[in-house]
Amino acid sequence: MADVLKTIQTPNDIRALAPAQLPVLAEDIRGVILETVSRTGGHLASNLGAVELTIALLRVFSPPADKVIWDVGHQTYAWKLLTGRQDRFHTLRQRGGLSGFPKPGESPYDVFGAGHAGTALSAALGMAVGRDRYGGSGQVVAVIGDGSMSNGISLEALNSLDEVHSKVIVILNDNEMSISENVGALSRRLGRMLADVRYNRIKAAAEAAGHRLHMTPLRRIYHRLEQAVKSLWLQNSFFEAFGLRYMGPIDGHDFNALENALCSARDYKHSVLIHVATQKGRGFRPAERSPSDWHGVGAFELDARHPPETKPGGYSQAFGEALTALAEGNAAITAITAAMRSGTGLEPFAERYPYRFFDVGICEAHAVVFAAGLAASGFRPFFAVYSTFLQRAVDCVMHDVCIQNLPVVFCVDRAGVVGSDGPTHHGIYDIPMLRCLPNLVIMQPRDTVELAAMLKTALSHAGPAVIRYPREPGPSSGLSEVSEALPVGRAEVLEPLSGAAQGPTVWFWALGDMVPLAVATAARLRSAGVRAGVVNARFVKPLDAVLLGGQAREAALFVTLENGAVAGGFGAAVREALAAGGHGQMVRAYGWPDAFVGQGTLGQLREDFGLTPERLAGEIGRSVQIS
């Protein structure tokens, strides 16, 4: 580990450093982040850009007495290194190791958890009100970055701020990026503030004078003059209309400017917003040139010029290609994403049909209602969204799409556990949240060819539909490459009953990426004398009740497998359908338990929770009394 960073055990050690040591510390931190992320994978570009800001925050404020809340949480690697976690940093995002996001159970310095964007300002307001009601004295600081200010929750919090009358400090870490490039009017306005040539010339001269006044009684006079100059050029009344004194733009890699602004905000009696300009990917040339490519990466070589390539043939890529092909013959098809154009595979669509592609920013609820408006106008919108982010808009799915039975297609990417990002990002709750909604068809393919068929199914369906698929690449397909629409609610018998003629009978109903596990487990059971068959369910809703009822007449046990939460999930749907048909067969539902699942690889998590052919065959064999 680098020399200056080695000396830091607590934030008090940072405050003891001489100013000349701070750039060295920043370089040390970037080196450790690069070396660690190259082995573990993680969020790289955003963390490299927030190093000086993190150091300055810890020099000016005194956490955990002062509350620092990060939004979004994937810019906190330097924070972890500087708040007593250096010795565990090598475990970042590993099973049992440090989280890639703020986690209150991990450190008292992490005062609020965050994996999704837009929550910090609301949480900060709550903490500030709590502080004032209890007569506390600490500062409350919300660090907002990567496009989170344009999120609806942030704007709702802004609207409430002036009514609360409790002081908060808001740091707007403006790196001009979320995961892809920022979009929208607010982002453009912030960009104009940063780019105004006349203002920045005057500001540079003023800052030179301000630095000479650093920590003197004249500093407040300097900042008042700075505010007057800003008002001439920037029309910065947007934030001030919400009760925030606006300061900035500040160079987010200039320690002097950062500490000056933070000290002024700390000493000011009312709420303040400090607009900080940082460079995403700072200190690593490839990430500086292409920050979106280096946002979240797998393990890579440190001398790499390009991020590691994702495996070809993944569901996201297959979805994007199939939707682009469908759109060629149907001008009503539109595609929507919430700041995830690349992650959801929509880049080919956006390039081919730019006027039918919409990136609404980190605004999932708006995306759903916007899609409903398009559908009500005769278009066929496909909203591509990660499962963990669709959670944020479930009310809109119900109120604005399902009640009106509008033909919106929700293409739910990363459905299932996603590995090292952990509980904030596992996409295992979409089925329980959506299955109860009338008019909604829910399906999941077992391979990428079936995904293409389901897109055609959704397009031909007159109401709303959900297609969910996992992060991992799909298996090679046994189907024809010509994908036709599927009959809604029709399952597929992959393996008819086979095994000992007189043995107990087990039917596996598996969903999507759990089909291979069902096939492997059924093979083990057959070798133990159990008659076992496998069904590719395809549809969560409506279930194939006809097939299910027919099998109930001969089955001793139904086993369901899903890459989702068992509570209220696909297995519960099978159990309910059997009961409604008057069948009393036992159902054993396998998936993820009624608990938040930790981080780890897919293989590790399946092993931890018994989702392996060996463990399943043993449990199921005992259920039907086969040794």
Pair 202, 229: CB distance under 8 Å: yes
Task: Quote the CA–CA distance of 449 and 475 in Å, as a whole number.
Answer: 10
Task: Quote the CA–CA distance of 54 and 85 in Å, as a whole number.
Answer: 15
CA atoms lying within 13 Å on the CB side of residue 106: 26
CA-CA-CA-CA torsion sign (299, 300, 301, 303): negative
Strand positions, DSSP E, 360-448? 380-386, 409-413, 441-443
* 335 CA to centre of own chain: 19
Q: Which residue has the tokens 């150091």?
A: 55
Joined tokens for residue 450: 């079936």
Q: Given 85, 167, 392, 531, which residue is catalytic?
A: 392
The amino acid at 333: I
Joined tokens for residue 509: 């109903």
Cα 37-39-40 angle, rounded to 5 deg: 65
First to last CA, the chain: 54
Joined tokens for residue 234: 């920037």
Task: Quote the CA–CA distance of 302 and 230 in Å, as a whole number.
Answer: 42
Query: Can 364 be counted among the known catalytic residues?
Result: yes
CA atoms lying within 13 Å on the CB side of residue 569: 26
Query: Can 392 be counted among the known catalytic residues?
Result: yes
Which contiguous run of DSSP H or E holds residue 37? helix 22-40
Q: Given 52, 176, 364, 450, which residue is catalytic?
A: 364
List C-alpha distances in Å: 180 to 292, 359, 392.
5, 10, 20
Query: Can 220 be counted among the known catalytic residues?
Result: no
What 3-state class would DSSP assign to 297? strand
What 3-state class would DSSP assign to 250? strand
Task: Quote the CA–CA distance of 494 and 534 in Å, as a whole number.
Answer: 6
Pair 19, 93: CB distance under 8 Å: no
Task: Quote the CA–CA distance of 470 and 476 in Å, as a whole number.
Answer: 15
Neighbours of 460 (CB within 10 A): 12
Cα 334-340-343 angle, rounded to 5 deg: 105
Task: Quote the CA–CA distance of 262 and 518 in Å, as a whole number.
Answer: 57
Cα 97-387-98 angle, rounded to 5 deg: 10
Pair 43, 75: CB distance under 8 Å: yes
Q: Given 80, 230, 280, 471, which residue is catalytic?
A: 280
R_g over Cα of the chain: 27
Active site residues: 280, 364, 392
